[in-house]
Amino acid sequence: MYKYDSYDQAMVDARVAEFRDQTRRRLEGHLTEDQFRPLRLMNGLYLQLHAYMLRVAVPYGTLSSAQMRMLGDIADKYDRGYGHFTTRQNIQYNWIKLEDAPDILADLATVEMHAIQTSGNCIRNISSDQYAGAVADEIVDPRPYAELLRQWSSFHPEFLALPRKFKIAVIASETDRAAMRLHDIGIKLVRNAAGELGAAFYVGGGMGRTPMIAPLIREFVPLDQLITYSEACLRVYNRHGRRDNKYKARIKILVHELGKEEYTRQVEAEFAHLLNQDIEPPLAELARIKAQFVDPPFAAGLPDAVDRSDPDFALWVDRNTLAHKAPGYAVAVVSLKPVGGIPGDATADQIRLMADLAREYSFDELRVTHAQNIVFPHVRKADLHALWSKLEAAGLGTPNLDQIGDIIACPGLDYCSLANARSIPVAQKISERFAANGKQDAIGELKLKISGCINACGHHHAGHIGILGVDRKGTENYQLLLGGSEGADCSLGTITGPGFSEDGVVDAIEKATDLYLEQRQDGERFLDTFRRIGMAPFKDKIYG
Amino acid sequence: MADVQFRFRDDEPVADPAVTVDAFGDQTNASAVRLEPGDDAAALIPHLERLRLVEVNFPVWTDGRGYSAARTLREAGYTGELRAVGDVLIDQLNQMRRCGFDSFAPSHELDADDAAAAFARWPHVYQATGDGRPAIWALRHAQ
Ligand code: SF4
């Protein structure tokens, strides 16, 4: 894992001091709320329906035990004893007092954490593959490149007042586990014909009210031009992105309106100019960062066999663990989606328990996934039973990874001031319905995602099944979408037709999955069957 | 016209009024120009040798186009005065300075102590922006 040096620490400490000063000026009345709002947003502090919400950055989703423990302590000390893991691989606290916010940031800084640029019209926390460094299909660990970009984007003076928020994801495998092409910039590490490592740039993807899949604008950027190319992409956007309408201000609209060719031409011209400006860190800096992401000391000669005599444990192993690149190890995923629970929520005690278990069983490391779950990336297979037993005892053993109960849901109308409808109760009803009817297992992989409004924080466009909360004449109404995917086979869901009430949408989903169970051919997932037979039979089943 | 409150230059301030980009193209003796957010800073590059003052207007501070305009001019070799005018607030002073601004005429006078603290806020910087400060990566690999 990346460790701060004295420079990194000094920057984060300076940020805490700056925010403390800004908060003081606000509380003393020197800053109006209008002036303060963008400043607190740059530090992840939102005003929600009932209280302030603080969003803490988890760069590329990687956490140490000490950091995880601090997240639990903050939940106890400043919130109501729980935290909410988000679709941006971050954590949010929903009940924060403004006066406490500078102290929380100071506490975070003691474990090399911050809330810098987790909100606002700036470059946000960089996301990446949740299984980076643990699975065999990546060509390199993408996180050092994400860290290089983290430092470049932190307090970048030219890009702190962009037309709109800006999200970057970095991956390094064919299997896209980070929805890379649904980001403002998606970077995929690749090898060129000569075998050299470089980066493919996809620019102009995003969800929200106009979802778009990012086009490839450059197949290969050499590693020693990564920052320069990123800067060129951003400068063209900062100058020409629309500022007349916030719904058209994301880079996807610029790329769409200019056309990919013209946007690319402008980026290439800016890039050629910036290459002479000496803004690129030397490769030695990348090497310095990479050295901190070396593999932990995996033991050799460990057994691969797992004792499956306990059926509950065997089920969890089948559902919630994945193959690891090192023999004798597994990747274990904690589902934060218990039946009837709030997706992504964990109590302070659960967070601290996971911190302790990571120290004991996973080389001190955890990951947050964009599906709002927690990963133990490097667990000895021989330790899986012990790990599972302790998780299970704490209510963290739900065996439903990537199943219909493993729902992504945004906070919705229970917390969010922008929401049209509640997301959490719908998620709870669906998970309860499919636990009760026993169909969850038969259905297998099914990614269900819920957003409480068109802003799409719950990624509904990219769900095999997506639900979008809308306001229909003052009542909450839900549109249903089918056929989205965030993976390498990225696609956007299509609306089935007229919307539903809260219970109606649960019924409609059961009908859709019943049709799938009738129609599927060997090995097909819900998504595959939908792609093969199309929308019409689903419409008939749902509305017929 | 608001007064210049902070200036990081030793030369004499330019007395001429800043003209619009359109007027500047016609008035071949003008030495001061004012850029609005939608203006293309690169259009001034052919005229750098007669330019002594560029004002960059920030009608609202959340419109950050002026930052790119400033860097474009500095990267092209402009060494004259680069002045941020308009909605210039305490918390943007530092990033403006980093993008090459060396004078500031906020529409509302700023608290001098808060401004001094803001200019001195960052012990180091992560990026090379041409403002003369070495990036942290350069310090790390100095020897
Ligand atoms: S999708 Fe809408 S309701 Fe949900 S968190 Fe985002 S803004 Fe709020």
Q: CA angle, A358 as apex, A357 and A361 as ends, to 5°?
A: 80
CATH class, range A134-289: alpha beta
How far is it, in rounded angstroms, from Cα A505 to Cα A433?
12
Q: Is A419 in the pocket of ligand 1 (CB under 6 A)?
A: yes
Residue A42 binned pLDDT confidence (cut-offs 50, 70, 90): confident
Closest CA to A34 of B21, B39, B61: B61
> Do B96 and B7 form a contact (C-beta atoms < 8 A)?
no
Residue A263 has pLDDT above 80, yes or no: yes
Q: Is A455 in the pocket of ligand 1 (CB under 6 A)?
A: yes
How does pLDDT run across A314-366, given as a tens digit for each residue?
Answer: 999 999 999 999 999 999 999 999 999 999 999 999 999 999 999 999 999 99
Q: Is A457 in the pocket of ligand 1 (CB under 6 A)?
A: yes
How far is it, in rounded angstroms, from Cα A191 to Cα A206?
26
| Residue B12, CB-side half-sphere exposure with 13 Å CA sphere | 3
How far is it, in rounded angstroms, from Cα A146 to Cα A167?
12
| H or E stretch covering A56 | strand A52-56
Q: What is the pLDDT of residue B1?
A: 58
The alpha carbon of A424 and the centre of ligand 1 are apart by a number of angstroms equal to 11
Residue A417 binned pLDDT confidence (cut-offs 50, 70, 90): confident
How does pLDDT run across A81-93, given as a tens digit for each residue?
Answer: 999 999 888 999 9
How does pLDDT run across A118-134, given as a tens digit for each residue?
Answer: 999 999 999 999 999 99
Of A25, A39, A277, the CB nearest to B114: A25
Are B128 and A278 a contacting pair at CB < 8 A?
Answer: yes
Q: What is the pLDDT of residue B31?
A: 93
Cβ-based contacts of A159 with chain B (< 8 Å): 64, 67
Alpha-carbon distances of A156 from A150, A288, A521, B4, B78, rounded to whole Å = 10, 21, 52, 25, 21
Please state the atom number of ligand 1 nearest to the C-alpha of residue A420.
Answer: 3
Instruction: Select the CATH number that applies to the domain covering A311-393 from these four: 3.20.20.140, 3.30.70.3340, 3.30.70.120, 3.40.1160.10.
Output: 3.30.70.3340
% of residues, chain A, pLDDT over 90: 90
Are B64 and A238 a contacting pair at CB < 8 A?
Answer: yes
Q: What is the pLDDT of residue B143?
A: 66
Cα–chain-centroid distance for residue A450?
Answer: 14
Q: B60 to chain A: nearest residue by CA?
A: A161
Q: Is A416 in the pocket of ligand 1 (CB under 6 A)?
A: yes
pTM of this prediction? 0.95
Q: A22 to chain B: nearest residue by CA?
A: B91
Q: Which of A239, A266, A277 to mutate to test the interface with B (most CBs of B within 10 A)?
A: A239
Residues paired with B85 in a beta bridge = B57, B105
Q: What is the pLDDT of residue A473?
A: 87
How far is it, in rounded angstroms, from Cα A471 to Cα A64?
41
> Do B93 and B72 form a contact (C-beta atoms < 8 A)?
no
DSSP B48: G
Please state the atom number of ligand 1 nearest to the C-alpha of residue A451.
Answer: 1
Q: Is A506 in the pocket of ligand 1 (CB under 6 A)?
A: no
Cβ-based contacts of B96 with chain A (< 8 Å): 157
> Do B95 and A18 form a contact (C-beta atoms < 8 A)?
no
Tokens standing for A214? 């990012």
Q: What is the pLDDT of residue A496?
A: 97
Which residues lie below 8 Å from residue A9, measured CB to CB, with a gap of 6+? A109, A112
Residues paired with A46 in a beta bridge = A53
- Give the β-pairing of A52-56 and A45-47: antiparallel
How does pLDDT run across A140-160, given as a tens digit for each residue?
Answer: 999 999 999 999 999 999 999
Tokens standing for A312? 């509950």
ipTM passes above 0.90: yes
How does pLDDT run across A490-532, given as a tens digit for each residue?
Answer: 899 999 999 999 999 999 999 999 999 999 999 999 999 999 9
Statement: B6-142 belongs to CATH 3.40.50: yes
Mean pLDDT for the stretch of residues B31-42: 96
Which amino acid is residue A37, in one-letter code? R
Tokens standing for A188? 């995929």
Of A21, A238, A279, the CB nearest to B128: A279
Cβ-based contacts of A160 with chain B (< 8 Å): 64, 67, 92, 95
Mean pLDDT for the stretch of residues A177-188: 96
Which residue is it, tokens 């970057």?
A: A168
Residue A219 has pLDDT above 90, yes or no: yes
Q: What is the pLDDT of residue A110?
A: 98
Assigned CATH topology for domain A408-543: Sulfite Reductase Hemoprotein; domain 1 (3.30.413)
Min mean pLDDT across A49-53, B99-103, B137-141 is at A49-53
- What single string gives the DSSP state of each residue in A253-270? HHHHHH-HHHHHHHHHHH
Mean pLDDT of chain A: 95
Q: Which of B56, B88, B99, B126 to mutate to test the interface with A (most CBs of A within 10 A)?
A: B126
Map residue B34 onto helix, strand or coil. strand
- What single string gives the DSSP state of each residue in A169-204? EEE-BSS-SS-GGGSSEEEEEEE-TTS-EEEEEEES
How far is it, in rounded angstroms, from Cα A213 to Cα A180?
9
Please state the atom number of ligand 1 nearest to the C-alpha of residue A417.
Answer: 8
- The angle that helices A535-543 and A526-533 make with each other, rounded to 10 degrees, is 100
**Count helices and strands in chain A by DSSP H and E runs:** 17, 20
Q: Is A411 in the pocket of ligand 1 (CB under 6 A)?
A: yes
The alpha carbon of B64 and the centre of ligand 1 are apart by a number of angstroms equal to 26
Mean pLDDT of chain B: 94
Assigned CATH topology for domain A6-109: Sulfite Reductase Hemoprotein; domain 2 (3.90.480)
Q: What is the pLDDT of residue B2?
A: 75
Mean pLDDT for the stretch of residues A439-456: 95
| Domain(s) of CATH 3.90.480.20: residues in chain A | 6-109
Q: How far A92 CA lies from chain B's nearest CA (Å)?
A: 25
| Domain(s) of CATH 3.30.413.10: residues in chain A | 134-289, 408-543
Cβ-based contacts of B37 with chain A (< 8 Å): 243
Which residues lie below 8 Å from residue A208, measured CB to CB, with a gap of 6+? A247, A250, A454, A455, A456
